Amino acid sequence: MKEFKRIDRFLKPLVIDNPPALNLEDDCALLPYTEGKKLVVTKDAIVENVHFLPNTAPKYLARKLLGVNLSDMAAQGATPLYYFIAASLPKSTTEQWWQNFTDELHLIQQEYAIVLTGGDSVSHDGDMFFSLTMIGEVDADKILYRNTAKIGDNIFVSGTIGDAYLGLQIAKGEIKEDDAFLKERYHVPHPRVSLGIKLGGLIDCATDISDGLLADLGHICDCSKVGAEIELESIPLSPSAKQTIEKYSIDLRELVSGGDDYELLFTVAPENEEKVEKIGKELNLALTKIGCITSSNSLNLRDKNGEGVAIGQKGYEHK
């Protein structure tokens, strides 16, 4: 299918009632700007055989592509508004694939009140490649940063950790299980956008967990010039993760370095903990204290007896 026919059939329906997109008939979009707010811009790429396995269903690709960018928005406390998508797909990609992909994009747009506003698509003879730029906004005094953690802050995470890592091992056949929950957690990120917005102005520092809890906490420590201590036994696990860990004798350190959780990791002063816990209850979302920020300039793991635990690989890093 030719490019402009693709745009007319599959992409223009995603920009209905979105004037800044100019109906995808121009090469640029015209975005409004709200006084007193900051524009937040993020960009991510996902590549076949790097970020997703071959033959991944188009609905899961749509979820991951938008999910990783929505998670970045959550980590800044921002409200996502617009996105721009670039897709480089094999010439053999079918119309049904495009239909399934854009149908899922439409569902995600409804969930998060975002709209497609532009982009590009090309056909070639290689692997699938996607790049997505997302734009949002946030009150200038409620922006969340990575470099503002304070000594004495407590460290919290949302949701559960390690499900996506285990789901990937199942998808690759390295764990012989058929756990639908874990597989879904790998394929479908759950960006904590509402949580990020509510935490703005209340917490000291935040990031999302994409490369692995230890790696992303390490980014906070490096940027904030602080250290951290994590209680390994406090890491929140789902029932499916607990069962799988026990059955296959998996080291918990693998889960905290596994990546693709897309939960929020944040630091909060002790006097604000009750307010944070109240937000968790309002959202029906578990928020778990797992450690504290220290002056040590190092990241340390502790077992249930308070003894140090050696850290191996902290998380995923592109070569």
Q: Which DSSP helix (H) or strand (E) runs through 93?
A: none
Q: Which residue blocks in 180-272 are alpha helix, DSSP H?
A: 180-187, 193-199, 213-224, 239-248, 252-255
Whether 132 and 85 have beta carbons less than 8 Å apart is answered as yes
Residues above pLDDT 90, as percent of the chain: 72
Q: Which domain holds residue 129?
A: 3-141
Q: Distance between CA atoms of 52 and 284, rounded to whole angstroms?
A: 30
Per-residue pLDDT of 233-252, as tens digits, reads 999 999 999 999 999 999 99
User: Where does a domain end: 141, 174, 202?
Assistant: 141
Tell me the pTM.
0.89
Identify the band that residue 26 occupies on the pLDDT scale cut at 50, 70 and 90: very low
Whole-number Cα distances in Å, 283 to 36, 160, 197, 274, 279: 27, 15, 12, 14, 6
Per-residue pLDDT of 53-112, as tens digits, reads 888 999 999 999 999 999 999 999 999 999 999 999 999 999 999 999 999 999 999 999
Number of domains in the chain: 2
Asked if 164 and 125 sit in the same domain, the reply is no
User: Where does a domain end: 108, 141, 174?
Assistant: 141
Whole-number Cα distances in Å, 235 to 52, 190, 312: 26, 18, 17
| Tokens at 225, concatenated | 């010039």
Asked if 40 and 126 sit in the same domain, the reply is yes
Domain of 10: which CATH number? 3.30.1330.10
Asked if 53 and 185 sit in the same domain, the reply is no
Q: Distance between CA atoms of 125 and 102, rounded to whole angstroms?
A: 22
Please determine, for residue 126, whether its predicted confidence score (pLDDT) is greater than 60: yes
Q: Confirm whether 11 is domain-assigned.
A: yes
User: Where does a domain end: 113, 141, 169?
Assistant: 141
Q: Positive or negative CA dihedral for 219, 224, 226, 231?
A: negative
